Amino acid sequence: MTNARNQDTPIHPVIGKLFALVTCKLEDLHEPSVNMHRPVDIPETSATAAQIQSAAAEISVLCEVIQLLVTDSTN
């Protein structure tokens, strides 16, 4: 275990890596999302929405794992 920043609380060392993966996913979605501020056509809009939805599901799973690790480290 490592300690949380500015605390004496032990925290699982993989949590920071999981947050890095969340950050990567969010960064990957930035450009497609911005490009859809002015959609070109329905198929591209639909494909981009599906891409964002898929990544959101992946982010959700990562967040669930983080929550489990945090809960596990406090018990």
For residue 9, the model assigns a pLDDT of: 66
pLDDT in tens, 15-70: 999 999 999 999 999 999 999 999 989 999 999 999 999 999 999 999 999 999 98
Q: The pTM is what? A: 0.80
User: Tokens in use for 32?
Assistant: 């497609």
Residue 71 has what pLDDT? 85
> What is the per-residue pLDDT for 13?
84
Delimit the domains of the chain by residue range: 2-74
4 pLDDT above the threshold of 60 = no
* Nearest-5° Cα angle at 45, 39 to 51: 130
Whole-number CA gyration radius for the chain: 17
